[in-house]
Amino acid sequence: MVAGAAAAGGRRRWWLNRTAMVVVWVVVSVGIWVGLHWYIRTVSMRKAEEALESMCEERARMLQDQFAVSVNHVHALAILVSTFHYRKQPSAIDQETFAYYTAKTAFERPLLNGVAYAQRVVHAERGKFESQQGWTIKTMKQEPSPVQDEYAPVIFSQKTVSYIEALDMMSGEEDRENILRARATGKAVLTNPFRLLGSNHLGVVLTFPVYRAGLPADATVAQRVEATAGYLGGAFDVESLVENLLRQLAGNQDIMVNVYDVTNTSEPLIMYGPQNPDGYMPLSHVSMLDFGDPFRKHQMMCRYSQKPPIPLSAITTPSGVFVICMLAGYILYAAWNRYDNVKEDCRKMEELKVQAEAADVAKSQFLATVSHEIRTPMNGVLGMLDMLLDTDLNLTQKDYAQTAQICGKALIALINEVLDRAKIEAGKLEIEAVPFELRSILDDVLSLFSSKSREKGIELAVFVSHKVPEIVTGDPGRFRQIITNLVGNSVKFTERGHIFVQVHLIENANKVMDAKVDTDLNGCLSDMMVPSDGTFNTLSGLEAADRRNSWENFKLLVSNEMPQSDKCKNGMPCGMNSGNVTLMVSVEDTGIGIPLQAQDRVFTPFMQADSSTSRNYGGTGIGLSISKCLVELMGGQINFISRPNVGSTFTFTAIFQRCKKSAGGDPKRTLSESLPTGFKGMKAFLVDARPVRSAVTKYHLQRLGITVEVASTIKMALNALSGQNGCLRSGKRPYILLIEKDSWTPGMDVYLHDQLLEWKQCGQIPEVPKVILLVTSESDKAKAGSFVDTVIMKPLRASTVAACLQHALGMGKQQRKEMPNGSAFLHSLLAGKNILVVDDNKVNLRVAAGALKKYGAKVECAESGKDALSLLQLPHNFDACFMDVQMPEMDGFEATRQIRLMESKANEEVKCGETYEGSERAEWHLPILAMTADVIQATYEECMKCGMDGYVSKPFEEQQLYQAVAKFLVSKPNSDL
Amino acid sequence: MAATALKEQLNGLVNSMFAEGLLDEQFQQLQMLQDGSNPGFVAEVVTLFCEDSERILTELTKLMDQALVDYSKVDAYVHQLKGSSSSVGAQNVKLACIQFRQFCEENNKEGCVRALNVVKHEYYRLRSKFETMLQLESRIQAYENKQQN
């Protein structure tokens, strides 16, 4: 709950966080928009300003230039006047000439309204001048001039300004000042702007002094004044001047221009433009104008008539960026959301997965428990049925009881399979590593199915390559389980033909396969051709699914290994020296095969080829999946080739360890039976038309130490026999003639018998060889007739062959004893052993002791863990200890722990050099076996944890006791057996 | 003759005990363990079992009579009884013990009392049979000894 609340809190905070992030992002985006907008506007403003500046400068220069041109021309006029009016005597210029000339040259002075020349007249000369001109000097106001020091009456004027003729220029304030400044500086001077007479435009008056000749260049002001002859003046119409100018330039409508006279900086006088400037004020540029009069300063101010428009990009670009930002933000947001969802989903999945796994484990545990629980009562049922069958029953009852027993056994088998499967799924199944004899396991499996195969009349055979070591280390139980499974399947689904189990080393098998491929490539299509007589070179003559297992291959395999077989038997390392042996086991049958559509789910649990299969053949289909699991646990692979109505071949590989002779004592003690050795050196003759079958028979006989020769028909055999007899064989050994049932034709038997008898009488052979017939089914047995010494029923196993031979040769009894059964073996293991039994329950104690005593052990009893401990004080001479788990005071686990503690102490002391007197063993380790009524996994693990070596169930079962004991006790070879 | 008759009687008794479910295959095992080397094995074990069981049953009765039942103790005793009965092959007693232990685990007093009664009942039934059996055996033994003499 708390965690949930915290998570919710975290989520809320997270959401807040996310909302905040969204807001921040939007704000940032808006900020970017504003910033970008401002930047672009600034840039565009600067550009406008620059444009304005350049335009303004351009206008100012033009104005200045045009002005200068006019001033220059006025200057030229001044010189004209000085030249022609004053140098010539009499004057070459009069009003008429002047007016004419100026009118003609007016185009040179487009800015000037007109020009006029005013002569300097001092008051002394006024009368003379007035009389000379014929008019009196007037002021600007057209009145006769009052008395002045001097006058500057206009004497020449252009027609346009003829109204100022005879006006005294000195009478106007502006003009007078101009005149005075002009004659003092000798340069053109300008007046303040004022409204011009006539046009009423704003304008300025330009005045130029005209000196009499002989004025030096560096004349003083006084000299200049003295030399002044007159003044040339012109009125500039600035307003029209600037308007003309602007009209000439493009874009004039965009720009507002003001021209100021700024001689008096505090009070600029406007020369052009509106009095109160309008238009876009913030942006303006001022250019200085130089009209050639150093005294006066003019400037031009330009500005845009309206605010320059905000460029479109200033809106679109930031908007675009804004949209992109928003999109990016949304993408991030969505991705984040998605990530969040996915994470949440993933977490949920994770939870579900945990649940599913827990459910799976629970299922496996349930299965294991339930199977176990079912097994216990089922054993009771089966036991009871067994007992019931031993009692006096009538036929019907017996039949019922047997059926019940068969069903019960099937149920137990199924439960065991389910338990196995559950164990595998729960990962609890562990593969043992004990030395075992592979061939005898295969023989055992074969004997399991022998009755069925005989019933059906199918050949069941096993062949183990000579290269496969006699004893390998692995898990015999599981190996047997796989083989049993596969062979069981084959037997179930095969009605005719054969089932053939082969074991080879994988290196060999691969080598042969490669060789085979080579020959095939060479164009030898032997495999693909159907033999002319319709039989195949297989065990039974029927076609097998996996053609690779045909005789050609088999021959190669067999011939390949022959040269080395002797070496192997001597226990010499042969082939690979490495510790691992990889075996390839194939189980070939000629059954109904697996339908193509079902082949891919053969290894799926509870899956049979189709539902009708289970109706016809029974079974659950769990076997193959278990086999697959087991094979994988053994480090191998399983696969199969199957052709419907031809058969199936299952092949699997498994990795075993080579059994090192030095380790683990004599591995033979794990064998249920060992083969009799009395046949070594015997010779046998085998008549068999089928090479594969003869190879199998040969294999079994060779295991018994019998050398075998093969002939395909009886006649050939006889020929060979007679031929050999000539070469004087050692005739001491009884000669055996084994005949396959196919070759045993009626009539042939008599012939053979006669022939053999004849030879014997002639002394050609010392005695008639024993004739043994090999048959596959009960019905064949009848064919044997009287000339056959004995009949061997297939499937062949070395031990059955041995038994038959013993019977036939009359050497049975003394050797039969060598095949002990389980209890005899237990006897041999336990005989003479000192065993301590610990149990608090007297009855149990007595029973266990009694059971062990029966097997020849010397038993001592202890009734509690403490007693046991005191008995086990080192040194002691117990060989094993059976310990009850549940005991008051000190239970079995605790007692074992203490014993192990004691032992390890003692062992350390031994290592340190102190040895107990009389202790011969290098290390103390007493095998302790737990006795427990409930054999479940947990108890087993507990047993192992506290140092026990194994457990047996209570009450003792012979087989289990044997298995448990066999691991720890070495049988005494010289026991009183 | 008498010995064979007695033996037949004994066999019949044992068979009937099997049939009634008083005994199971474990008893057969016991019989198999008895051979020339230890002739009185079955008798010994059975006697041991009876003594042991009677002791346990007395203890159990005492425990169950108490107001506050110590179930762990009860359980330990029942476990012992179950162990010895399964060793002997006293099937019904064993089954009754299993039942008893279940009630014990549930701390079900009523059930326990009932189960104890069942166990007792089964035990006494078995004991009477065992007694007959032992008598028969000892008589057979006596006959055989006599014959040998």
- Taking contacts as CB-CB distances below 8 angstroms, the residues of chain B near A393 are none
How far is CA A351 from its chain centroid? 22
DSSP-derived 3-state class of residue A288 = strand
> Do residues A917 and A877 make contact, with C-beta atoms less than 8 angstroms apart?
no
Q: What is the pLDDT of residue A556?
A: 63
Residue B58 lies in a domain: yes
Alpha-carbon span A114 to A103, nearest angstrom: 9
Share of chain A above pLDDT 70, in %: 77
CB within 8 Å of A956: residues ≥ 6 apart: A848, A851, B29
Mean pLDDT of A694-722: 79
Residue A19 has pLDDT above 70, yes or no: yes
Domain A434-513+537-558+579-607+621-658: which topology?
Heat Shock Protein 90 (3.30.565)
Residue A34 has pLDDT above 90, yes or no: yes
Between the alpha carbon of residue A125 and those of residues A87, A137, A139, A148, A157, the distances in Å are: 20, 12, 17, 11, 21
Alpha-carbon span A609 to A598, nearest angstrom: 5
> Chain A: residue nearest B49 by CA?
A843
Alpha-carbon span A37 to A314, nearest angstrom: 5
For testing contact with chain B, the best of A841, A891, A953, A976 (most B CBs within 10 A)? A841
Mean pLDDT of A37-60: 88
> pLDDT tens, A92-148?
888 888 888 888 888 888 778 788 888 888 888 888 888 888 888 888 777 888 888
Higher pLDDT, A625 or A547: A625
Alpha-carbon span A462 to A712, nearest angstrom: 21
Q: What is the pLDDT of residue A641?
A: 86
B83 and A843 within 8 Å at the Cβ level: the answer is: yes
DSSP-derived 3-state class of residue A264 = coil
User: Which one-letter DSSP state was computed for residue A167?
Assistant: B
> pLDDT tens, A560-583?
554 443 434 444 344 445 678 888
> pLDDT tens, A807-822?
777 654 433 333 344 5
CB within 8 Å of B24: residues ≥ 6 apart: A380, A383, B18, B89, B91
Beta strands in A885-976, from DSSP E residues, in sequence order: 928-932, 950-953
A841 and B30 within 8 Å at the Cβ level: the answer is: no
Share of chain A above pLDDT 90, in %: 5
User: Which one-letter DSSP state was computed for residue B90?
Assistant: B
> pLDDT tens, A339-363?
999 999 999 999 999 999 888 878 7
Categorize the per-residue pLDDT at A970 as very low, low, confident or very high, splitting at 50, 70 and 90: low
CATH for A63-304, options being 3.30.450.350, 3.90.950.10, 3.20.20.100, 3.50.50.60: 3.30.450.350
> pLDDT tens, A927-941?
888 877 665 555 677
Mean pLDDT of A705-714: 79
Residue B8 lies in a domain: no
CATH number of the CATH domain containing B27: 1.20.120.160
Q: What is the pLDDT of residue A527?
A: 40
- Token pair listed for A281: 């004020």
A841 and B24 within 8 Å at the Cβ level: the answer is: no
- Taking contacts as CB-CB distances below 8 angstroms, the residues of chain B near A848 are 87
> pLDDT tens, A590-613?
888 888 877 777 777 665 555 555
Higher pLDDT, A855 or A523: A855
ipTM, two decimals: 0.78
Cα four-point dihedral sign A595, A601, A603, A607: negative
- Taking contacts as CB-CB distances below 8 angstroms, the residues of chain A near B18 are 387
Q: What is the pLDDT of residue A669?
A: 41
Q: What is the pLDDT of residue A742?
A: 73
Categorize the per-residue pLDDT at A621 as very low, low, confident or very high, splitting at 50, 70 and 90: low
- Taking contacts as CB-CB distances below 8 angstroms, the residues of chain B near A887 are none
Residue A683 has pLDDT above 80, yes or no: no
- Taking contacts as CB-CB distances below 8 angstroms, the residues of chain B near A888 are 76
Q: Give backbone dihedrals phi and psi of A571, rounded to 5 degrees, phi first.
A: 80, 5
- Taking contacts as CB-CB distances below 8 angstroms, the residues of chain B near A956 are 29
Alpha-carbon span A189 to A192, nearest angstrom: 10
Higher pLDDT, A798 or B77: B77
Alpha-carbon span A435 to A656, nearest angstrom: 10
Mean pLDDT of A669-674: 44
Domain A683-722+734-809: which topology?
Rossmann fold (3.40.50)
Categorize the per-residue pLDDT at A281 as very low, low, confident or very high, splitting at 50, 70 and 90: confident
Long-range interactions of A482-486: CB distance < 8 A, separation 24+: A482/A585, A482/A627, A482/A630, A482/A631, A482/A652, A482/A654, A483/A441, A483/A442, A483/A445, A483/A585, A483/A587, A484/A445, A484/A448, A485/A623, A485/A624, A485/A626, A485/A627, A486/A587, A486/A627, A486/A650, A486/A652
B83 and A380 within 8 Å at the Cβ level: the answer is: no
B87 and A933 within 8 Å at the Cβ level: the answer is: no
Mean pLDDT of B131-146: 82
Q: What is the pLDDT of residue A116?
A: 86
- Taking contacts as CB-CB distances below 8 angstroms, the residues of chain B near A373 are none
Q: Is A10 on the interface with B (CB under 8 A)?
A: no
- Amino acid in position A929: L
> Chain B: residue nearest A888 by CA?
B76
Mean pLDDT of B104-126: 85
Please tell me the distance in Å from B143's CA to the nearest CA on chain A.
25
Q: What is the pLDDT of residue A197?
A: 67
CB within 8 Å of A450: residues ≥ 6 apart: A460, A793, A794, A795, A797
Beta strands in A749-857, from DSSP E residues, in sequence order: 770-775, 790-793, 834-838
Q: Is A127 on the interface with B (CB under 8 A)?
A: no
Residue B95 lies in a domain: yes
| Residues within 8 A of A (CB atoms), B 18-37 only | 18, 24-26, 29-30, 32-33, 35, 37
Categorize the per-residue pLDDT at A80 as very low, low, confident or very high, splitting at 50, 70 and 90: confident
Residues forming a β-bridge with A683: A707, A735
Between the alpha carbon of residue A764 and those of residues A236, A323, A431, A809, B106, the distances in Å are: 168, 116, 58, 20, 88
A843 and B49 within 8 Å at the Cβ level: the answer is: yes
> pLDDT tens, A475-508?
888 888 888 888 888 888 888 888 888 888 887 7
Cα four-point dihedral sign A697, A702, A706, A712: positive
Q: What is the pLDDT of residue A378?
A: 79
As a CATH number, domain A822-969 is 3.40.50.2300
CB within 8 Å of B106: residues ≥ 6 apart: none
A955 and B49 within 8 Å at the Cβ level: the answer is: no
Q: What is the pLDDT of residue A802?
A: 78
Helix (H), strand (E), coil (C) string for B93-134: HHHHHHHHHHHHHHCCHHHHHHHHHHHHHHHHHHHHHHHHHH
A842 and B48 within 8 Å at the Cβ level: the answer is: yes
**Vertex A157 angle, CA A155 and A162, to 5°:** 105
For testing contact with chain B, the best of A823, A827, A847 (most B CBs within 10 A)? A847
A850 and B33 within 8 Å at the Cβ level: the answer is: yes
- Rg (C-alpha) for chain B, rounded Å, is 17
HSE (side-chain half, CA atoms, 13 Å) at A538: 32
Number of structural domains found in chain B: 1
Mean pLDDT of A737-744: 76
Residue intervals in chain A for CATH 3.40.50.2300: 683-722+734-809, 822-969
Alpha-carbon span A8 to A11, nearest angstrom: 5
> Do residues B107 and B75 make contact, with C-beta atoms less than 8 angstroms apart?
no
Run of H or E including B140: helix B109-148
A853 and B80 within 8 Å at the Cβ level: the answer is: no
Higher pLDDT, B105 or A605: B105
How far is CA A480 from its chain centroid? 39
- Amino acid in position A884: D
Q: Is B45 on the interface with A (CB under 8 A)?
A: yes
Alpha-carbon span A474 to A481, nearest angstrom: 13
Residues forming a β-bridge with A301: A258, A286
A889: left (phi over 0), alpha (psi -120 to 50) or beta: left
Alpha-carbon span B70 to B78, nearest angstrom: 12
Using the structure block, give the residue that is written with the tokens 């308007």: A243
Run of H or E including A973: none
Mean pLDDT of A949-955: 72
Q: Is B41 on the interface with A (CB under 8 A)?
A: yes
Q: Is A822 on the interface with B (CB under 8 A)?
A: no
- Taking contacts as CB-CB distances below 8 angstroms, the residues of chain A near B24 are 380, 383
Categorize the per-residue pLDDT at A618 as very low, low, confident or very high, splitting at 50, 70 and 90: low
Residue A8 has pLDDT above 80, yes or no: no
Residue A315 has pLDDT above 50, yes or no: yes
Please tell me the distance in Å from B117's CA to the nearest CA on chain A.
22
Beta strands in A99-254, from DSSP E residues, in sequence order: 112-119, 121-122, 150-151, 154-157, 189-190, 194-195, 202-211, 228-236
CB within 8 Å of A643: residues ≥ 6 apart: A545, A593
- Amino acid in position A910: V
Residue B9 lies in a domain: no
Average pLDDT, chain A: 76
Nearest to A234 by CA among A153, A117, A115, A154: A115
Q: What share of chain B is helix, strand, coil (3-state, %, to 5)?
A: 85, 0, 15
The parent domain of residue B82 ranges over 23-31+41-148
Q: What is the pLDDT of residue B92?
A: 84
Weakest mean pLDDT among A456-460, A813-817, A825-829, A868-872: A813-817
The alpha helices in A426-548, defined as continuous H runs, are: 438-456, 476-493, 506-521
Alpha-carbon span A628 to A640, nearest angstrom: 11
Residues forming a β-bridge with A289: A298
Q: What is the pLDDT of residue B104?
A: 84
HSE (side-chain half, CA atoms, 13 Å) at A566: 2
Domain A312-336+357-426: which topology?
Helix Hairpins (1.10.287)
Count of C-beta atoms within a 10 Å radius of residue A184:
16
Residue B6 lies in a domain: no
